[in-house]
Structure 1
Amino acid sequence: MATCNGATFLEAQLSSLAKQTRWPDELVISDDASTDDTLTIAAAFAKTAPFPVVLSKNDTRLGFQDNFLKAARLCSGRYVAFCDQDDVWFPEKLSIVYQTLVQKKASLVAHGATITDARLRPITRLVHGAVANRTYARGTFQPLPGNVYGFTLAFDKALLDLIDPALRPDVPDQPGVKLYHDVWVALLASNFGTIVHLERPLAYYRQHANNVLGARRTRRLDRLAEHLDSPVSHYRNRARFAYQCAEAFEVSASNLAVDLALMAHQGAALYRRIATSFGQRADLFEHPQRTRRLATLVTMLASGVYTSRRRGGLGTLSLLKDLLSACSDQRLRLGALETPPHSP
C-alpha cells in the first residue's frame, strides 16, 4: 500500500484487509511524507492487525508511482497486490486472486471493480481493464494508461527484478513523466509471462475530490479529447512510447538469463514493429495529398501492420479507419471507428 495524506478513507480500507477470507501474508505500507494522521492510523492498525504490518516513511516525497514500486520491493512474499489507500476490498478478493495466480501459473492477475462515490455508493462498473474473463499469452496484451488499474493487480514480485524501473518509458501523452507503476508492471508481465483478467468485481473503486487515480483518469479524458483533434500528435506519442519500450527490453537483455533474454529481445522486436506502425500511421494522417496517403497505406498493408492486435498489429478497425482517411478528401478525426483502449 502506498499512502499520502490518506487519513480520511484509510481506516475503511484497512478494515477491509482485516476482513479478507484469506489474509495477506503481510501488509507493507510506504507513506509518502504525509502531513495528516495517516501514519497514526496505520500504526494503530498494525497493533491489532491479524497479520504483520510493515511501516515505512519517505522523508522526501517520491510521488505515487515510485512510492508504489518502493512498497512492492519491500514485500517479502512471492506475490504482491497493489493496494490504494482509499478503496475497499471485497472479502474474497485475495483468496480468488491468489488461487488464480497459482492455478493459472500467471505472472499477473487483474480483476473487475465497482466504481462508487465518496460514501461508497455504487455508481457503475469499471468499463476498462479486466472487463471479461480472459487469459493473455505472452506478448498478446498491450498495457497502456486507460486499460490497467493498479488497485486491481496482483503479480509475481520477480517481475520487478527483470528491468531497472529507471528505464521505463514515459507516459504516452506526457513526455518526461515516467510510466505509471501499474502499467509498468503489466508491461513486464505481458512480455515475460501470462496475464489473466477476471471480470468479477472484487473491490470498490472510490471516487472523491482528492482521489489521485480518479484525477488521473479525468486528465486522461481531457488529453484524449485533445487527441481527437490531433491524431498525428497522438500517433507520434504512441510511436515514441513503443520505441522506448523496445529500448528498455533491448538494453536489459544482456543482464538476463538466456531464456529471459530471448523474451526481452522478442519484446523489443514487437515494440519496434508497433513503433513503426504508429509512425507510419502518423505519416498517413499528416499528408495533405490523397496520393501520398494512399501510398503510405499500401506500404502499411504490404508490411502486415493491420494484423490482430493480439499479435501486435493495429487490427481491422484501424485498417478501415485508415482506408477511409486515405481515400477521403477530408481526413478523419481520431475518435471515429477507433477501437476502445481496453481492446486486445
Structure 2
Amino acid sequence: MTISIAIATFNGEKYIEALLASLAQQTRLPDEVVVSDDNSTDSTVEKIEHFATAVPFKVTILRSQVRQGVIVNFYKAFQACESDYIAYCDQDDVWDAHKLERCLHALRSNDAALVIHKSVVVDSDLVPLGRILPEVHGTHTIAFPAAPHQIHGFGHQMVFKKTVFAVMAQLYEHSTATQETLCQNFDELIPTVSGMLGPIVFLDEPLVLFRRHAQATSPAGKNMSRPTLQERASAKRKDIDQYLRRITTLLVAVAESKASGRAPLAQVDVQYTTYMNDLVKSLRRRSSIHAGIGLTKAFVAVSALLLRGAYRGKSAGGFGFKNLLADSLAALRVY
C-alpha cells in the first residue's frame, strides 16, 4: 500500500516550510510528494527544491509557466500521483505526525474509498481559534453507496484511493459535464465520487492545524459565525434545489461515461444508480414541500418520506432529524 501527498502551491513561501517539516515528521512517511506550482513569483519552489534534497522519499515538482487557478493546479497534482492512495494537502497547514498512519489504517481496515478526519482551526501563527471542523461527532463508517449529503469535510482532511481520481477524470473526459456543473470544488467532488466506489470512514480525530489567514486560497473555515435557525430555514429550498441539480447532473455524467466503455466507471454498479435515483425522487418531494404546496399536501409528502425512511441518520443514507424538522416547519409555513 503506497501513498502520495498532492500539494498545489502558489506564492506560499510564508508557510510552506512549516507544512513540509510536518510531512517529513510523519510516523508513516509518504512514498512520494507531488507539488504542482501555479507560476509562483516568490521563493516557494526554491524552498520545496531544498526540502527535496533532505528527505528519503521522492518529491516531484510540476511548474506551470502561466496561472491556471487552484482547480487545474490540484488536478495536475492528483494526475501525477503514482501511489495507491492520495492525500490532499494545502500549502499553509501543519499536519499531525500521525496523520498518514491513522488514515492508512482506517482505509485498509475498512477497504474504504475515502477517509476524512477533523482539523483544528488556527490563526496565521497557529494559535487555536476555539473551533474544530467539521462539527461531526464519533468515528463512523458510511456504507456504500453514499450520497454527498452524508459526507462532511474539507479537501485537506481527505485521503482517498487513486481510483477515485481516475473516475473523476473519466467523468470530465467522457461526459458533457464540467467541473462547475458537477461540483463547485474538489472538497465536494472527491467525496461524491468516493461514494460510488466504496465505504467512507470519518475519523473523530483532529489531524491537521487548519491555518486561516487573509491570503488563504480556500474560503473554507474563514466564516466562523454560525447561522441562525431562521437563516438556515430561509436557505433550505435553495439548497435542496441546488443539490437536486447536482445529483441529476452527476447521474447523467455517470451514464455518459459508462457508455464510453472505459474502466474504472465500470465499477459503478446498479446498486449505486438505483440509490441515487431514489434520492432524486426524495429531493423533488422535499423541494415541493418548501415551495408551498399547501398544508395537507406538504404533510402527506413529509409522511411519505418518513415511511420510506428518508429521514434516518445521514450515516445510514438519510437526510437526518434536522431536515425532518426543517421540512415540517416548511409544511407549517413557519418561515
The answer to whether TM tops 0.5 is: yes
Do residues 332 (structure 1) and 334 (structure 2) align? Answer: yes
TM-superposed CA distance for 1:5, in Å, is 1.4
Do residues 205 (structure 1) and 236 (structure 2) align? Answer: no
Which residue identity lines up with residue 243 of structure 1 in the other structure? Answer: T
**How big is the alpha-carbon RMSD for the aligned residues of Structure 1 and Structure 2?**
3.2
Equivalent residue for 2:75?
69
Equivalent-residue separation in structure 1 for 2:224 and 2:25 (angstroms) = 33
Q: What do residues 199-227 of structure 1 show as CA deviations (whole Å, max 9, x unaligned)?
A: 122111111111122x2444797999966
Do residues 273 (structure 1) and 273 (structure 2) align? Answer: no
Which runs of structure 2 are paired with 1:222-241 in the superposition (5 Å)?
228-241=233-246
Give structure 1 stretches of 5+ with no counterpart. 334-344
Equivalent-residue separation in structure 2 for 1:219 and 1:114 (angstroms) = 15
Please tell me whether the aligned partners of residues 245 and 268 of structure 1 are also in contact (alpha carbons under 8 angstroms): no
Equivalent-residue separation in structure 2 for 1:133 and 1:37 (angstroms) = 40
Q: What do residues 246-274 of structure 1 show as CA deviations (whole Å, max 9, x unaligned)?
A: 22222233356899646344333322322
Change (3 A) 1:34 1:264: farther
Please tell me whether the aligned partners of residues 138 and 192 of structure 1 are also in contact (alpha carbons under 8 angstroms): yes
SS in 2 for 1:111: strand
TM-superposed CA distance for 1:50, in Å, is 2.6
Please tell me whether the aligned partners of residues 120 and 131 of structure 2 are also in contact (alpha carbons under 8 angstroms): yes
Which residue identity lines up with residue 57 of structure 2 in the other structure? Answer: F
Q: What do residues 102-126 of structure 1 show as CA deviations (whole Å, max 9, x unaligned)?
A: 2332221122221111101122342
Which residue identity lines up with residue 55 of structure 1 in the other structure? Answer: I
Which residue identity lines up with residue 259 of structure 2 in the other structure? Answer: S
Q: What do residues 81-104 of structure 1 show as CA deviations (whole Å, max 9, x unaligned)?
A: 111100011112122222322233
TM-superposed CA distance for 1:156, in Å, is 1.1
Change (3 A) 1:226 1:284: same
SS in 1 for 2:89: coil
Equivalent-residue separation in structure 2 for 1:79 and 1:278 (angstroms) = 33
Equivalent residue for 2:324?
319
Equivalent-residue separation in structure 2 for 1:202 and 1:168 (angstroms) = 37
Please tell me whether the aligned partners of residues 110 and 153 of structure 1 are also in contact (alpha carbons under 8 angstroms): yes
Percent identical across equivalent pairs? 29
Equivalent-residue separation in structure 2 for 1:38 and 1:259 (angstroms) = 35
- The two structures have a TM-score, normalised by structure 1, of 0.82
Equivalent residue for 2:144?
138
Please tell me whether the aligned partners of residues 250 and 268 of structure 1 are also in contact (alpha carbons under 8 angstroms): no
Change (3 A) 1:277 1:125: same
Please tell me whether the aligned partners of residues 115 and 123 of structure 1 are also in contact (alpha carbons under 8 angstroms): yes
Equivalent residue for 1:84?
90
Which residue of 186, 191, 214 corresponds with 1:186? 191
Which residue of 120, 123, 134 corresponds with 2:129? 123
Do residues 154 (structure 1) and 159 (structure 2) align? Answer: yes
Change (3 A) 1:207 1:131: farther
Which residue of 39, 43, 50 corresponds with 1:44? 50
Please tell me whether the aligned partners of residues 89 and 203 of structure 1 are also in contact (alpha carbons under 8 angstroms): yes
Q: What do residues 14-47 of structure 1 show as CA deviations (whole Å, max 9, x unaligned)?
A: 1111112221111100011222221122122222
Equivalent-residue separation in structure 2 for 1:155 and 1:259 (angstroms) = 15
Equivalent residue for 1:8?
14
Change (3 A) 1:170 1:131: farther
Indicate the larger mover: 49-58 or 100-109. 100-109
SS in 2 for 1:154: strand
Which residue identity lines up with residue 11 of structure 2 in the other structure? Answer: N
- The two structures have a TM-score, normalised by structure 2, of 0.84
Please tell me whether the aligned partners of residues 249 and 264 of structure 1 are also in contact (alpha carbons under 8 angstroms): no
SS in 2 for 1:8: coil
TM-superposed CA distance for 1:290, in Å, is 2.9
TM-superposed CA distance for 1:169, in Å, is 6.8
Please tell me whether the aligned partners of residues 311 and 320 of structure 2 are also in contact (alpha carbons under 8 angstroms): yes
